[in-house]
Chains A and B, each alone.
Chain A
Amino acid sequence: MDRQQEFVLRTIEERDIRFVRLWFTDVLGTLKSVAVAPAELEGAFAEGIGFDGSVIEGFARVYEADMLAKPDPSTFQILPWRGDRPGTARMFCDITLPDGAPSMADPRNVLQRMLGRAADLGFTFYVHPEIEFFLLEKEPKPGRTPTPVDQAGYFDHVPHGTGHDFRRAAITMLESMGISVEFSHHEGAPGQNEIDLRYADALTMADNIMTFRTVVKEVALEQDLYATFMPKPFADHPGSGMHTHVSLFEGDRNAFHEPGAPYQLSKVGRQFIAGILHHGAEITAVTNQWVNSYKRLWGGGEAPAHLTWGHNNRSAMVRVPMYKPNKGNSTRVEVRTIDPACNPYLAFAVLLGAGLKGIEEGYELPPETEDDVWGLTEVERKAMGIKALPSSLHRAIQAMESSELMADVLGEHTFEFFLRNKRREWDDYRAQVTPFELDRYLRL
């Protein structure tokens, strides 16, 4: 760690960095940034940078409002879009109380706590997200329908397509920040793109996703476009998800892999899935945290709305992707509910929490669902014991409220704040009179 700090200080000197942005994330997943001069950095490493926590969403008084942001030198990166010299760099921070105890409100700390618990059981948690988003022409004016940049479809190659240039620029920038991209292509809806990040441990990946969202927005702005991670901007097109592949490793060994088992999936893997399904409804408020998220989930198509799992079933909440022979370490589980507007720290923490619970309690995995869940009738689903995910943010809040697991994973403070904030969002939403209502009811 200390060598890292030295490295950071040296690099700043060598690369003529004039500003260092200290990044952290509020409870809702919004990136917060405070810039310091390089001269302040040494102090920041030793003592942290003080700030008033009460103005940050979810950081409000646990004890005093005074909080400290302590930069994590292993996350040091030079920001490519701010020009070469003099440059700007960034680091993610851990938030602590003045006495040095980690803040219970810091999402990074929530995830670190969960990862620590996994480590106690001998596991490391890896994730690999497929992030979808829409590219729009300019930032839409309030009240106007946004216009996608193209009309292409899944995997379409668009000649001279804006999206093409965009993806190239974005990927170049991500790679220059040390974030490896595995895959990128046009998605099913007009203007919709997908970029897959190469798998990494969950904390690094959550940091990467925060960076990713910033980079994508920056690049779009440079090209006079607008990028959005809103889960469902168009009623007629599929929404944006963040299918997340997860796996647990015990040392170098993939703990989900067992040669010869069905889908090469080990007992640990099956219990992990069982945990996610068992607690699926409780964790949804975090993995799909906005009113709009539920319009994607219940919009049909590839979005999952039921607590099921399957092998090649794209309507299932959890999918076990095809196994590539002789690549035991690639055995993994894909969770398809999460959307890209989540707080990645909290989302990964609750996924891991639910999965570990499955392992600790030895949950039985229910039978696989091979049918397209959307194609079944209500009665059939009932007969097969298929339960639905929460149908709205309201339902998700209710499911979360009574969840011991969620309180335990998030910590009482974050749990309480998150629920309060989401209840308010639901109340605000319910107070709206929508164009839909005006269309239908004005003539009454």
Chain B
Amino acid sequence: MTAPRGESIPGALTRLGFDEPRRALSLLDDPVLERVIQRRDAIEDDGLARALAETADPDQALLGLVRLMESVCRGPAPALRTRVERVLVEGGVGRRRILEVLGASLALADHLVAHPEHVLDLVSAEPLPVESRGELLTAAALTAPEGATAGEDALRVEYRRQLLGIAALDLEAEHPTDQLPRTAAALADLAQGALAAAHALAVHRAGERAQRCRLAVIAMGKTGGRELNYISDVDVIFAVEPADGVPEEEALAIGADLATSLMRICSANTGAGTLWQVDPALRPEGKQGPLVRTVASHRAYYERWAKTWEFQALLKARPVAGDPEVGAAYVEAMSPFVWTAAGRENFVSDAQAMRRRVEDHVPAAEADRQIKLGKGGLRDVEFSVQLLQLVHGRADDNLRSATTIPALEALSRGGYVGREDAAALATAYRFLRTLEHRIQLQRMRRTHLMPTAPADLRRLGRALGHRTDPATEILARWRSTAREVRRLHERIFYRPLLAAVAKLSEGEVRLTPEAAQARLTALGFRDPKGAFNHLRALSEGVSRRAAIQRQLLPAMLGWFADEADPDAGLLAFRRVSDELGTTHWYLKMLRDEGRAAERLAHTLGRSRFAAELLEQAPDCVQFLGDGSGLRPRTREEVESRMRAAAGRQGSLDQAVQAARTIRRAELFRLAVADLEGSLTTTDVGHALSDLAGGLIQVALEQVVRAHVAEQGRDLVTRLLVVGMGRLGGREAGYASDADVLFVHDPVPGADDQQAQDDALDVVRELLRVLGLPGPDPRLEIDADLRPEGKNGPLVRSLASYAAYYERWSLVWEAQALVRARPVAGDPELADRFLALIDPIRWPREGLTAAQVREIRTLKARMESERLPRGADRKTHFKLGHGGLSDVEWCAQLVQLRHAHAHPELRTTSTVEALTAARALGLVAATDAEELLEAWTMTSRLRNAGMLWRGRSLESLPSDVRDAEGVARVLRRPPGSGHLLDEEYRRLTRHARTAYERVFFEQ
């Protein structure tokens, strides 16, 4: 073939794949290639150029070839030049190997330039058994001429000579990912041989003394697993036994010297460079521990002290050099430990940490380029496989392989993971490892990062067979593989559980109930048997529901396991599902609507409050599917829905129950949104207060309507419900009562007594219907803040309030009125009531000294008297030091004194009042901040406690599990529950001193 007419030679070279054609052309013209190039007239069609074009990096390969040939020509043996040139001219395997290696590795090219004679070894490379590798390396090291590092140098040169062969076989493979296991094993063998040679050299140098101890080198990590990279630390452990008649102490000392010498022989940087670091850090006690131990001492350590990850490391232990008997004794002594790890005490929490490590992923440095540690990286695959091996390997010794791919195959054969999933994971693993190999090969550097330079990406893409746009294609393929790994993790870990309980042979998975329970325990379920039964109930059978749930549950199990109480989450899900399973939209929503299932799982595992609401009203689940479903509804929306629902009912009781059903649904909506973190404390307070107000309004309308119907006449009075306390402030919590005052005002001309009777009837009836057992958590109505308290009439007319306040008003009543806000009833009456109380709560002259003193005394008395028996004065949310009432009383005192002069202070909200007081300079900025911070934190904790427990929480939890649950509701990281205590005490201590300054003006 010739170049198309008009195409220049550089153009042709570009088409072949050269990046810098002019440079390539001048290199091809180099005199050293003179006898190699056959077609000088059409250089681009020469066999050499075409062969170069096949390599991963033609430019690099060509430059390397010119350097190599310069070295060959310079060399002392003219025969070598002739032989090399013949290989290059003849083409075929030999030429391909040379060019592939030069194109894929600068480091190996450098080695060839330094040792041109090795090019022939490269050409004739073939797989070598591990023994031969060791013998060749040992011979090189031991026969080196005398000299300080001559042995090391010879070892390094021989090591690289063999490395060339491994690289040649690797690079010429048609499917590099298929070749990967063989390459990784060959690299491990080479490392093993080097360790053996280093051991022999160390023994040789130690002379007679070395005979007094028997040292075995145990390979760990990837060397032990026989799946090494091109360049990596080689993990080892040393075991030592004394030779006959030698005291143990002495043998240990000699063994430590030998081991140190061995490590130095491998890692020292000599004239010929270095092999790799030998890392003994996986030994018992890590870096603190002695370098060598006897087998018995190793055993004693693992019997007593070792941690789960250390057992995980032992999985790969394999004797590779030194005394074979000691090595065998070591393995025999250790292997039982690996497989009892799953029975150890901390195994569950360690395993969870491992799982979380895989799923949450601690972002490593340069996470977006990490092939090994990034999301969906090699470490994920390895950990998933090892975790499953540890969990199930105790009962099944077929799983005990030290090598990732065979282990995965064994898990698949044993039915612990699906066959297709295992195959897909193995493919992904091989691809990622091949990427890693190709990247490391270039410079023989220990790196696990995707390169960024376009030339590097291009070489990488071409090495893996991408030709059109190699850089882009390889990045895309890498990313999609990482995604696949993440997805597969879930499939291999959770899906088999379902197959086990449902007794289905899904992809040949056959987990026994025992194996399934072992895995559930490792996930953090405290009652694996119960969980197993729930799973079975959810997934057994041939119904559409069971089929869909089998699809959903694997992922949901992972989400449950993230929460503080996975068992409760799963149980609640079962209840909801029993209730709704046959409803057509339920399963469809979970299956089809993205986040719905995930939201449901997290909600149920995190909040008993939400779970209980849902169990009573499973249909609330609908909100989860709808993106806008979690927006809290406005007061108007809630009220109109309640009104509509109530209007459709026959009786009063039914009507109010219907309104309360709406409230239950809204509570669930709020809880879910709150748990997701999409609401502020203020949002929650507003929504809960509006919900209470709406219910009271609709219930009041219904009661009045029923009253009218029953009496056959209109009411002779108009009614108003005024919210007080947190309801008045629009700052209600999940567990708040509704503090209210009832007000009525007779219509013109009505009889006062009859009006009072009507009002009382309606209010009593209102309290009755709201107090009935109902679908929602009962809204407790508390009217004790009314004039004269419990002794006063439940409802008063506006005129009566006016008369009362004129004559009797006490300062605490004025204070309570600070937070009065009409929440239901007649709007016009509301205005008149506010006109009546405004001068009382915002008195023109502020407070007198005597009134201030009275409020302070009252507060002090309340603090000492109202605290429940056994409650801790420091940690009680409402009455404790720096708690809610400290902050609220500060705000109210400032409002009583200054709101008349400063309209900004005329608010029922504690937060708004303090913010305004701060802006006005009435409260120092730092004091206001500390008060608000403590108030917000306490309100959040109280809400979180209710969400977590389903019962109100009055003070800081004294139970560690409760603390953990509350912390998780606040979306703190797992295991941070015990930190709440310290934080709460600090915030409230600050608030308490601020309170002392603000409230007592000290």
A interface residues with partner B (beta carbon < 8 Å) = 1-3, 5-6, 42, 46, 61-64, 97-99, 101, 104, 402, 407, 411-413, 416
Contact = CB atoms under 8 A, between A and B. Distances in A.
B981 A99 contact: no
Contacts of A98: 960
Given A1-B288, A2-B284, A64 B982 contact: no
Contact of B960 (A5, A42, A99, A412): A99
A412 B290 contact: no
Contacts of A413: 981-982, 985
Contacts of B985: 412-413, 416
A137 B366 CA distance: 72
B874 A99 contact: no
B978 A101 contact: yes
A5 B958 contact: no
B993 A402 contact: yes
Given A99-B960, A407-B989, 11 more contacts: A2-B284, A3-B289, A5-B304, A5-B305, A6-B304, A61-B872, A63-B959, A63-B963, A104-B981, A104-B982, A413-B985
A157 B981 CA distance: 56
A61 B958 contact: yes
A2 B993 CA distance: 47
Contacts, number: 53
B304 A2 contact: yes
Nearest to A104: B982
Nearest to B288: A1
B301 A2 contact: yes
Given A3-B285, A61-B958, A64-B960, A412 B304 contact: no
Interface in B973-1002: 978, 981-982, 985-986, 989, 993
Contact of A99 (B284, B978, B993): B978
Contacts of B333: none
Nearest to B986: A412
Contacts of A411: 982
A201 B304 CA distance: 29
Contacts of A61: 872, 958
A412 B978 contact: no
Nearest to B981: A62
Contacts of B986: 407, 412
B959 A64 contact: yes
A411 B963 CA distance: 18
B948 to A, nearest CB: 16
27 contacts: A2-B289, A2-B301, A2-B304, A2-B305, A3-B285, A3-B288, A5-B304, A5-B305, A42-B304, A63-B959, A63-B960, A63-B963, A63-B978, A63-B981, A64-B960, A98-B960, A99-B978, A104-B982, A407-B986, A407-B989, A412-B981, A412-B982, A412-B985, A412-B986, A413-B981, A416-B985, A416-B989
B300 interface: yes
Interface in B273-306: 284-285, 288-290, 300-301, 304-305
Contacts of B963: 63
A17 B305 CA distance: 23
A402 B926 CA distance: 15
A211 B586 CA distance: 69
Interface string B864-899: 000000001010000000000000000000000000
B285 A97 contact: no
Contact of A97 (B284, B289, B290, B978): B978
Contacts of B288: 1, 3
A216 B537 CA distance: 70
- Please provide the 6 A-B residue pairs with the shortest distance between their CB atoms, ordered closest to farther: A412-B985, A2-B305, A101-B978, A412-B982, A63-B960, A99-B960
A72 to B, nearest CB: 15
A3 B290 contact: yes
Nearest to A9: B304
A58 B530 CA distance: 41
B304 A64 contact: no
A402 B304 CA distance: 47
A38 B25 CA distance: 83
Interface of B: 284-285, 288-290, 300-301, 304-305, 872, 874, 958-960, 963, 978, 981-982, 985-986, 989, 993
Contacts of B872: 61
A444 B989 CA distance: 45
A412 B872 CA distance: 15
Contacts of B284: 2
Given A1-B288, A63-B960, A104-B982, A416 B993 contact: no
Contacts of A416: 874, 985, 989
Contacts of A101: 978
B564 to A, nearest CB: 13
B965 to A, nearest CB: 13
Nearest to B874: A416
A309 B268 CA distance: 53
A259 B963 CA distance: 53
Contacts of B989: 407, 412, 416
Contacts of B289: 2-3
A83 to B, nearest CB: 30
Nearest to B963: A63
A98 B963 CA distance: 14
A407 B982 CA distance: 10
A444 B285 CA distance: 75
A42 B305 CA distance: 10
Nearest to A61: B958
A63 B958 contact: yes
A97 B960 contact: yes
Which of B872, B978, B986 has the most C-beta atoms of chain A within 10 angstroms of its own C-beta?
B978
Nearest to A101: B978
A99 to B, nearest CB: 5
Contacts of B285: 1-3
Contacts of B301: 2
Given A2-B301, A99-B978, A413-B982, A64 B993 contact: no
A411 B989 CA distance: 12
Contacts of B982: 104, 411-413
B929 to A, nearest CB: 15
Contacts of B300: 6
B80 to A, nearest CB: 54
A323 B285 CA distance: 41
A42 B304 CA distance: 9
Nearest to B982: A412
B380 to A, nearest CB: 28
A257 B989 CA distance: 39
A416 B290 CA distance: 44
A133 to B, nearest CB: 36
Contacts of B981: 62-63, 104, 412-413
Contacts of A64: 958-960
B976 to A, nearest CB: 10
A359 B285 CA distance: 35
A64 B301 CA distance: 33
Which of A1, A63, A407, A416 has the most C-beta atoms of chain B within 10 angstroms of its own C-beta?
A63
B273 to A, nearest CB: 31
A41 to B, nearest CB: 12
A416 B985 CA distance: 9
A63 B958 CA distance: 5
A5 B288 CA distance: 13
Which of B284, B872, B982, B993 has the most C-beta atoms of chain A within 10 angstroms of its own C-beta?
B982
Contacts of B960: 63-64, 97-99
A3 B959 CA distance: 35
Which of B289, B874, B985 has the most C-beta atoms of chain A within 10 angstroms of its own C-beta?
B985
Contacts of A63: 958-960, 963, 978, 981
B453 to A, nearest CB: 37
Nearest to A60: B872
B869 to A, nearest CB: 15
B789 to A, nearest CB: 35
A411 B985 CA distance: 9
Contacts of A1: 285, 288
Nearest to B962: A63
